[in-house]
Amino acid sequence: MMRRLAALAFAFGFLIAFCASALAHAYLVESSPSDGDLLKQAPAAVELVFNEPVEVISAARVDPAGSVERLEAGAERRARVRLSLPLDLAPGSHLVSWRVISQDGHTVAGSLVFSVGRASGERREDRRESTLALSALSAPLVGARFFLLAGLIFGVGAVVFQSLFAPVAQARRLALGALACGGLAAFASIGLQGADAHGQTLGALMDLAMWRSGLRLPQGVGAAVAMATVCVAVAALLVARVRGRGALAALALALATLALVWSGHARLWRPEALMPALVALHVASAIVWAGALAPLAIATGAAGFADALRRFSRFAPFIYATLAASGAGLATAQFLGPRDALETAWGVALAAKLALFAVVTLFAALNRWLYTRPALAGDAGVVALMRRSIRIEAMLALAILAVAACWRLAPPPTALGPPDQRAFQIHVHGAQAMASVTIRPARVGPVQIRIEPKAADLSPLRVQEVDVFLTPDAPGLAAIQRRARLVSGVNVWETESVIIPAAGTWRLRVDLLVDDFERARLDAVIVLQP
């Protein structure tokens, strides 16, 4: 009996060992060259050593230009596989991809990257990168930003003028129209910001989740404050009592300043202790000065024009000086960045804004030194010239706001990093999760990949593991795979240096291990420059 039990136990153990070996997948033990190697001379072949004999189904090489070449490996099954390479390998990084069948019949795929002479993307000092951050919703976002700026500045500015300098009945309709425009733009920008954060198009505005996500963003919070500003400003226009109107106008100015400061990026520039105050001064002075232009032009035909002009002229130089000084301080902060500001899209917009501001200053000086005194004396011809000049100032102010709205697409130089090191950022989405993925630099060669997992509502998502896969957009090629590491305990994950050998279209996949029972797969397509 004991012999039978021993024989049965031996047979059972042998069966388990056999099944275990049969079910084990093949895996790569070593390779020559190794993944990430930088070689002085091109190798004649790539040798792959597996833990068991395998049959090669396919093998291919992607060269630094992005061309795909199939590699021959022979049909026999063996543990050491030799993939012959061409003799004239170009300098740069090469991706070798393989697909094999292990003894249990399962297909196993893998890849490695090696570089000859230098990694792809290096020693290209003449490269010129775009410094625009474009998306499917770029145009609607810029339009919404422009109408929000124009609505708040000209609407709230008119309310402040009515309270501080002179009530102009004819300007009330203009103020109400500007405020309505700003309120609608603020409302629309909430959904647009949420949809843009999710990488969606205009059709996504029908999804309430986009609006909830928009309200979580600083721009969405600023838009909500802007809508409250519109309500307060309209109330100030409708209040009959002078004291109540003044209090509401002051509150509207404070809320409008807060809305525009909070929804802009300048408050986060360095030095962080100084920037919010500079932005607030710049925004408030722009509202008081630019917002007074339209009511002042309308008042030129009213009986109380002389009193209104006298009061405004008393404060205008101080307001304009504050506007210019705070703007100069904000611009100077960006010229201390790691790259030449004027070589960026932000710098081009700044140059356009400064040119327009110089022309506005010319007209403001013309009004101040040539027209004000004769207009106060009642010279009808000069009053007509002043009215035309003020209207031109108002149109130039609108042009400045249009340029400022374009900064929505132009990150400042301090956010771009050193030259040729700009990051590529994309939001990768799945059914239950998403992730913000940053690839730095935004080109081929050695890159670092940074992942910030998020829930569907854009709140931080805690995960246990993050794996990143990059696959050339060509059939039959295996992915470059890296496991990310958690950075300093925060909800940010980073990979070690990954070498992307060729420019063009790549399929990006991010696997998030949420817990022991849930794994989220996020897929996207990216295009990298040479």
Nearest to 498 by CA among 424, 427, 431, 436: 424
As a whole number, mean pLDDT of residues 118-131 equals: 68
pLDDT at 115: 94
Please check the confidence at residue 21 and state whether its pLDDT lies above 60: no
Q: Is pLDDT at 7 greater than 70 in this prediction?
A: no
Least confident among 12-26, 42-56, 110-124: 12-26
**SS (HEC) of 359-384:** HHHHHHHHHHHHHHHHHHCCCHHHHH
Q: CB–CB of 502/65 below 8 Å? A: yes
Residue 125 has pLDDT above 60, yes or no: no
Round to whole Å and give the CA distance between 258 and 277.
11
Residue 387: which residues within 8 A CB-CB, separation 6 or more? 297, 300, 301
Average pLDDT of the residues in 462-486: 92
Residue 207, SS3 per DSSP: coil
Rounded-to-integer distance, Cα 51 and Cα 103, Å? 11
Task: Tell me what pLDDT residue 16 has.
Answer: 45
pLDDT in tens, 290-300: 999 999 999 88
Give CA–CA dist 275/185, Å, rounded: 26
Q: pLDDT band for position 370 (50/70/90)?
A: very high
pLDDT digits (tens, 9 = 90+) for 320-364: 999 999 999 999 988 877 778 888 899 999 999 999 999 999 999
Length of the chain (residues): 530
Overall average pLDDT of the 449-474 stretch = 91
Pairing of strands 38-39, 107-116: parallel
- pLDDT-derived band at 465 (thresholds 50, 70, 90) equals very high
SS (H, E, C) 302-327: CCCHHHHHHHHHHHHHHHHHHHHHHH
Q: What CA–CA distance (Å, rounded) separates 381 from 30?
A: 90
Q: What is the pLDDT of residue 22?
A: 45
Mean pLDDT of all residues in 111-115: 95
The 10s digit of each residue's pLDDT in 61-75 is: 999 989 999 998 877
Local confidence band at 163 (pLDDT 50, 70, 90 cut-offs): confident
Task: Give the C-alpha separation, 513 to 518, whole Å.
Answer: 6
Q: What pLDDT does 267 receive?
A: 84
Q: 168 near 184, Cβ under 8 Å?
A: no
Average pLDDT over residues 378-403: 94
